[in-house]
Every structure is written in C-alpha cells, then in structure tokens.
Amino acid sequence: MRQKKVRVRIVSGEFGGRFIKTPPGSTTHPMGERVRSAMFNSLGESIRGARVLDAFAGSGAVGLEALSRGAESAVFVERDRVAQRVIAENISILGVEEKSIVIKTTIVNWLESASSTGEFDIIFADPPYHNPQFSTVSQVNETTQTGWIYDIITSRNR
C-alpha cells in the first residue's frame, strides 16, 4: 500500500508559501496548517527575536515557521533518524543553517543531558499521540525563561 504524501507549507513570514519536506510513513504527524497558523497568530510579535525549541520536531515545520516569522534561533529535538535528515534538508532548503541546531536524541535524553536552563523563550511540544515521551512535556517547561510553552493536544487517536 502506498503512503499518501503530506505537503506542508510555511504559512507566513519570510518563507511564507514555501513547501517543506516531511518524513515518509507514519512515524511523524505534521501539525496542520490551520493549527500552526492559529498558534503563531496568538503569539503575534513575541516570536520576533525569540529563541525557540521545537521538541518532537518531526519535519521541523513548527521551528521553521518560527524562524520564518522572525525568531532568532531554533533548536529541533528529534529521535527518528529519517526525520532528522528531513529537518536538515528543510533547514538547508530555507537557508537557515546559522540559526538552526538539530539535536539527534529523544527529548527525555536531551533533558537529562541539557546543561542550561532558561535557554529558550518559547517551547513548542507536539508529541506523537501514542508515544511514551508524551508525559515529558511538563518537564520541558523548566527550560523556558518566559514560561511560554505550547503543548498542542488534539483528540484524534489519543
């Protein structure tokens, strides 16, 4: 059976309208464009100059959207190797290598080894529906300076 190809578009900002790649298969589930748009619209200008963490990064769409809208930097934490490669490709396609870091581990391992807290202004955490790391989201909040954390929870398949 052939997997349906998911097309993800950067909604707004410098890269608005550009499409990025997504990992094949069902290991990741990209956040929908409408949800991403609503989330960033609620953040408004506070995204400008922010240091963001895209936990459970998948395709990197959320962190890349943040960079497109003026974030200073983005750290992408992703455990899946295929997804890590896709994130790196997307970073290269958009030319934001200097503003991006891909951390190749689980969010649990990263939290255990992270040496600095207060490193991020905004954290985006959209864990896979059936992933045991889901309970880790509350621990991630300790690494923000402002307390901004977006935990996107949808009811589908939970």
The type of residue at 140 is V
Which residue shows structure tokens 């578009």?
9
Q: Which CATH architecture has domain 8-151?
A: 3-Layer(aba) Sandwich (3.40)
pLDDT at 14 over 50: yes
* Environment class of 74 (CB within 10 Å of its CB; exposed 0-12, middle 13-18, buried 19+): buried
What band does 154 get if pLDDT is binned at 50, 70 and 90?
very low
What band does 137 get if pLDDT is binned at 50, 70 and 90?
low
Give the strands of the sheet with 100-104, arranged side by side: 100-104, 73-78, 51-55, 120-125, 144-151
Look at strands 73-78 and 51-55 and give their pairing: parallel
pLDDT at 50 over 90: yes
For the ranges 64-73, 81-90, 117-126, the lowest mean pLDDT is seen at 117-126
Question: Each residue of 77-97: pLDDT tens digit?
Answer: 999 999 999 999 999 999 999
Q: How many CB atoms lie within 10 A of CB 21?
A: 18
Mean of pLDDT over the chain: 81
Is the overall model pTM greater than 0.85, yes or no?
no
Q: How many CB atoms lie within 10 A of CB 117?
A: 11
Write down the domain spans for the chain.
8-151
